[in-house]
C-alpha cells in the first residue's frame, strides 16, 4: 500500500509540473501587456519598459518559467498586477469558499446519486429504472450555467425562497445559517451533472454485480435481499463507484467556475473570471494550480480508498 501511495504521489508531482508549464505557456499567448495592465493605457514607453524589467518580462521565456517555478517552490505565487497584493492573500480565502461549495455539491452527489443508482439496479428494467436513468441522462446533458439561471428564476425570483447571489446577506450577515441558505442553489446547480454520472455508473456496476454467481448462491441460501444487496453486493461495487466519484470531483471543480459566476459566490471561479478579464496573470496561474492540486489530491485519496477496498488494484499498480 505504501508503494502504491508513493507511486501516486510521484504522478501527482509530474501532473502539477505539467499543469504549471502548460498554463504558463498558454498565458503568454494571451494578447496584451501586463505592464500596461499596471500602468494603464496612457503610460509612456519608458515607464512600460521599466515595469517590464522590474517584472522580469524582458527575459527569455525559459528564464521567466524558471523564476516562476523557483518562487512556487518557496511558496511565493507572486503579486497581483491589479491590486498589488500577494496572490496567496487573495486566493486562499477564495479557495476555502470553493472547497465549501465543492464539498456540499459532492455530498449531494454521493447521498443522492449512489442510492439512486443502486435502487435502479435493484429494479432493473422497471418503470422506476427507466425514469431514473432518463432523468440522469437529461441531467448530464444540461449546461451548468443554464441550470443555475433556471434555479435563480424559479426559487429566488418567483418563489423568493432562496437568495439570488452571494455567500452572506450583505445587510445583516447571519453566520452559518445564512451561509447554508445561500449555499443551497449553487450546490444543487454544481451537483447536477456529476450526480447524474454517478447514478448511472452506480446502476451499471451494481447490475453487473447482482448478476454474479455468488449473488445467486447467497439468495439461494435464504439470505435476505437487503443483506445480499448492501452487505455483499455493494461491497464489491464500491471500488469502481469510488473511482468515478473521484473523477467527478474534477468536473465539479471545473463546473463551480461557472456556478460561482452565476451565483456571485466569492470563490476561486469568480476570482479567476475577474482576473482573466483583467489579464492578471499571477492570479490566473495560481488559481489554475490550486484547482489542479485539489483535483489530484482528491483523486489520490480516491485511489488510496480503492486500494483499501480492493487489494487487487494494489497488485496492478505494483506490477
Question: pLDDT-derived band of residue 151, with 50, 70 and 90 as boundaries?
Answer: very high
What is the tens place of the pLDDT at every residue in 55-109? 777 777 888 888 878 888 887 788 887 888 888 888 888 888 988 998 999 999 9
Q: In percent, how much of the chain has pLDDT > 70?
A: 90
Asked whether the whole model's pTM tops 0.85, one would answer no
Contact 178, 169 (CB under 8 A): yes
What is the tens place of the pLDDT at every residue in 257-302? 889 989 989 888 888 888 888 778 888 888 888 888 887 888 777 7
Contact 224, 185 (CB under 8 A): no
Q: What pLDDT does 239 receive?
A: 83
Find all residues with CB under 8 Å of 43, minimum gap 6, and list them: 35, 36
Q: What pLDDT does 313 receive?
A: 53
Mean pLDDT calculated for residue range 166-182: 80
Average pLDDT, the chain: 82
Neighbours of 134 (CB within 10 A): 10
Amino acid at each position: 500500500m505504501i508503494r502504491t501511495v508513493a507511486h501516486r504521489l510521484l504522478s501527482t508531482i509530474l501532473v502539477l509540473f505539467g499543469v504549471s508549464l502548460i498554463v504558463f505557456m498558454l498565458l503568454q499567448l494571451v494578447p496584451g501587456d501586463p505592464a500596461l495592465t499596471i500602468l494603464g493605457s496612457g503610460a509612456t514607453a519608458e515607464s512600460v519598459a521599466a515595469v517590464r524589467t522590474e517584472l522580469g518580462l524582458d527575459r527569455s521565456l525559459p528564464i521567466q518559467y524558471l523564476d516562476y517555478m523557483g518562487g512556487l517552490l518557496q511558496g511565493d505565487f507572486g503579486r497581483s498586477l491589479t491590486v498589488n497584493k500577494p496572490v496567496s492573500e487573495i486566493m486562499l480565502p477564495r479557495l476555502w469558499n470553493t472547497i465549501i461549495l465543492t464539498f456540499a455539491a459532492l455530498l449531494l452527489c454521493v447521498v443522492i446519486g449512489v442510492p439512486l443508482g443502486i435502487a435502479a439496479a435493484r429494479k432493473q428494467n422497471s418503470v422506476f429504472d427507466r425514469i431514473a436513468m432518463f432523468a440522469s441522462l437529461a441531467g448530464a446533458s444540461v449546461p451548468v450555467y443554464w441550470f443555475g439561471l433556471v434555479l435563480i428564476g424559479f426559487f429566488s425570483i418567483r418563489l423568493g425562497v432562496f437568495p439570488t447571489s452571494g455567500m452572506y446577506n450583505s445587510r445583516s450577515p447571519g453566520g452559518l445559517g445564512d451561509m447554508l441558505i445561500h449555499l443551497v442553489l449553487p450546490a444543487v446547480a454544481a451537483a447536477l451533472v456529476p450526480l447524474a454520472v454517478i447514478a448511472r455508473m452506480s446502476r451499471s456496476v451494481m447490475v453487473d454485480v447482482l448478476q454474479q454467481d455468488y449473488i445467486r448462491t447467497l439468495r439461494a441460501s435464504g439470505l435476505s435481499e437487503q443483506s445480499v444487496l448492501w452487505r455483499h453486493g455493494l461491497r464489491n461495487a464500491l471500488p469502481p463507484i469510488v473511482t468515478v466519484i473521484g473523477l467527478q470531483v474534477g468536473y465539479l471543480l471545473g463546473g463551480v467556475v461557472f456556478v460561482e459566476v452565476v451565483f456571485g459566490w466569492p470563490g476561486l471561479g469568480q476570482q479567476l473570471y475577474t482576473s482573466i478579464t483583467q489579464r492578471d496573470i499571477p492570479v490566473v496561474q495560481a488559481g489554475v494550480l490550486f484547482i489542479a492540486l485539489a483535483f489530484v489530491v482528491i483523486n489520490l485519496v480516491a485511489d488510496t480508498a480503492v486500494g483499501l477496498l480492493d487489494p487487487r488494484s494494489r497488485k496492478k499498480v505494483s506490477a
